[in-house]
Amino acid sequence: MSKTPCPFNGLEERCLIRLTLTNGVTLTGYYTSAADQHFLHRFGTGLSLLGQITGPYVAADIRHLDLLKTRKEVQQEGRRSLLGDPVPGREPVTRDDYEYRLQTIARAIAAAEDWQREVQLRRQFADVAQRIHLSSGKRAWIIAEAKWRQRSNEQPTLRDLSGHEMTSPSLFARPRPQDFDPDPTKRRQRVPLPVSVQIEPFAPHNILSAFKSAGLKARITRIGDPAYDAAEIQVAMPLRVPPGNLWVVLA
In this predicted model, what pLDDT tens digit does every residue of 68-104 receive, in sequence order?
Answer: 999 999 998 888 888 889 999 999 999 999 999 999 9
Q: What is the pLDDT of residue 200?
A: 87
Residue 67 pLDDT grade (very low, low, confident, very high; cuts 50, 70, 90) = very high
> Are 99 and 46 in a shared domain?
no
The domain boundary residue, chosen from 76, 100, 119: 76
Tell me whether residue 246 is in a domain: no
**How far is Cα 41 from Cα 18, in angstroms, rounded to an integer?**
11
Residues 154 and 203 in one domain: no
Q: Quick one: DSSP state of residue 20?
A: E
| Residue 31, strand partner residues | 40
Whether residue 61 contacts residue 22, with contact meaning beta carbons closer than 8 Å, is answered with yes
Taking alpha carbons only, the member of 47, 13, 58 closest to residue 32 is 13
Q: What's the total number of domains in the chain?
A: 3
In a domain, 244, yes or no: no
Is 116 within 8 Å of 122 (Cβ atoms)?
no
CA 228 from chain center: how many Å?
27
> Could you tell me if 59 and 137 lie in one domain?
no
Residue 37 has pLDDT above 80, yes or no: yes
Secondary structure (3-state) at 235: strand
Question: Residue 60 is part of which domain span?
Answer: 16-76
Q: For position 246, what pLDDT does the model report? A: 45
Distance of CA 225 to the CA centre of its chain: 24
**DSSP code for 74:** H
pLDDT, the chain, mean: 88
Same domain flag for 67 and 124: no
